[in-house]
């Protein structure tokens, strides 16, 4: 007989003890894994808490409200800026397409008005100038481009009219590169539209322009200020090149010194001084009237001297050094045209509510 058969109770007790030990080991290992998971989660939570505490501001209810107020203020300023730029967004009517044969009449009127403005101010113009629209002197634009071209034409008319008011000596050249809508769509573009693929849409279009003219420094300064502060159209200046009309340095004969003479005396006579005799002789043997004439002559000389040597008028100082020559200006501009908005901006009353 085997030992197990002879000692059944002892064998059973030993087997039960072994099974219980294995069960306890398995249970202990499982509890150990749960403990490690719990400890890891606790460590992660403590780490996040430390990061929040080190952050600025700490997310207390008061700081959370302050943060929300800052976000609301930022959104309010952003929406106000967007509303200010609305003036540069053409309406749907301003870019509405029309029949291409009507565009020729618009170009003709555009040219006539600008020719009149420039010639009225004595500005020399290049031969056959159409102010950027030479391509449409005998041809029609694409029907889909008439609205955008008409809007660009109005913007350029404003630009050139302002330039004419500054009375430049000559308009040398105007180059209007073709805008995207003027070109016929490529085959791959048409295929993309047929497939319904998404196209990256910009929020604005760019209409470039290049022009060169000859004018005085003062005229160019005023023209540039008007372009930069325009409330009708948004022009971005990409490049400026300024060159003196004459490449040789100025000499003494180029300087122009304005002379101011006192044609009228500060006072007509001494008759207005009642009780004084103008012929009275002073102690030096000179009459009062003769002394007044000498004083007036001395005053005139001082005025002339002061005008020439004055430091108050910078333009005169520069003219004494540089002369009064014209400058040749090259400008590269972009007309920024904001596209029609897809969502409506909140008004000021909406934000206050």
Q: How do residues 201-232 score in pLDDT, each as one tens digit? A: 788 899 999 999 999 999 999 999 999 999 99
**Angle value at C-alpha 30, between 25 and 32, nearest 5 degrees:** 95
pLDDT of residue 40: 83
User: What gap in Å lies between CA 184 and CA 142, rounded to an integer?
Assistant: 8
As given in the structure block, the two tokens for residue 133 are 């629209």
Tell me which residue has tokens 């609305």: 86
Number of neighbours of residue 40 by Cβ within 10 angstroms: 10
Instruction: Answer whether 0.75 is exceeded by the pTM.
Output: no
User: What gap in Å lies between CA 153 and CA 220, rounded to an integer?
Assistant: 22
**pLDDT tens-digit profile, the chain (353 residues):** 565 566 666 666 666 676 666 666 666 666 656 667 777 888 888 888 777 776 666 667 777 888 888 888 898 888 888 888 888 889 889 999 999 999 999 999 999 999 999 999 999 999 989 999 999 988 899 999 999 999 999 999 999 999 999 999 999 999 999 998 888 776 555 555 555 555 557 888 999 999 999 999 999 999 999 999 999 999 999 999 999 887 777 666 666 666 656 565 544 444 444 444 544 444 444 444 455 455 445 545 544 444 444 555 555 555 555 556 789 999 999 999 988 775 555 565 555 54
Backbone phi, then psi, for 90, in 5-degree steps? -65, 145
CA dihedral 308, 312, 314, 320 (to 10 degrees): 10
Coil/strand/helix, residue 339: coil
- Could you tell me if 298 and 174 are in contact, meaning their C-beta atoms sit under 8 angstroms apart? no
Distances (CA, A) of 318 to 59, 177, 211, 257, 262: 62, 38, 27, 11, 25
As given in the structure block, the two tokens for residue 41 are 């989660």
Number of neighbours of residue 326 by Cβ within 10 angstroms: 18
User: What gap in Å lies between CA 353 and CA 214, rounded to an integer?
Assistant: 54
pLDDT of residue 308: 47
pLDDT of residue 106: 93
DSSP 8-state secondary structure symbol assigned to residue 281: B
182 burial via Cβ count (<10 Å: 0-12, 13-18, 19+): middle
* Cβ neighbours of residue 118 closer than 8 Å, sequence gap 6 or more: 125, 160, 164, 171
Q: How do residues 241-296 score in pLDDT, each as one tens digit? A: 999 887 777 666 666 666 656 565 544 444 444 444 544 444 444 444 455 455 44
Coil/strand/helix, residue 39: helix
User: What gap in Å lies between CA 170 and CA 288, rounded to an integer?
Assistant: 58
């Amino acid at each position: 007989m085997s030992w197990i058969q002879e000692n059944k109770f002892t064998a059973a007790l030993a087997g039960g003890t072994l099974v219980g030990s294995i069960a306890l080991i398995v249970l202990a290992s499982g509890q150990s894994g749960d403990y490690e998971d719990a400890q890891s989660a606790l460590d992660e939570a403590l780490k996040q808490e430390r990061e929040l505490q080190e952050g600025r501001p700490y997310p207390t209810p008061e700081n959370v409200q302050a943060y929300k107020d800052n976000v609301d203020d930022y959104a309010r300023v952003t929406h106000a800026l967007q509303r200010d730029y609305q003036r540069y967004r053409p309406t749907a009517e301003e870019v509405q397409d029309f029949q291409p044969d009507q565009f020729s009449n618009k170009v003709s009127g555009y040219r006539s008005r600008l020719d009149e403005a420039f010639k009225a101010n004595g500005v020399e113009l290049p031969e056959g100038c159409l102010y950027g629209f030479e391509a449409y002197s005998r041809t029609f634009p694409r029907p889909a481009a008439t609205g955008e071209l008409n809007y660009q034409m109005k913007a350029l008319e404003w630009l050139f009219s302002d330039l004419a008011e500054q009375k430049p000596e000559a308009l040398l050249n105007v180059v209007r590169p073709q805008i995207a809508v003027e070109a016929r769509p490529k085959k791959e573009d048409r295929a993309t539209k047929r497939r319904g693929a998404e196209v990256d849409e910009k929020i604005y279009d760019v209409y470039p322009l290049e022009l060169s003219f000859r004018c005085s420094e003062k005229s160019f300064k005023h023209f540039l200020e008007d372009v930069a502060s325009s409330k009708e159209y948004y022009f971005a200046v990409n490049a400026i090149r300024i060159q003196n009309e004459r490449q040789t340095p100025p000499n003494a004969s180029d300087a122009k010194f304005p002379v101011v003479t006192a044609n009228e005396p500060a006072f007509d006579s001494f008759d207005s001084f009642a009780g004084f005799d103008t012929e009275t002789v002073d102690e030096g043997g000179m009459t009062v009237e003769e002394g007044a004439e000498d004083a007036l002559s001395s005053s005139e000389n001082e005025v002339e001297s002061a005008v020439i040597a004055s430091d108050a008028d910078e333009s005169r100082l520069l003219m004494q050094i540089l002369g009064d020559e014209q400058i040749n200006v090259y400008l590269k501009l972009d007309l920024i045209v904001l596209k029609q908005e897809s969502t409506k901006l909140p008004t000021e009353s909406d934000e206050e509510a």
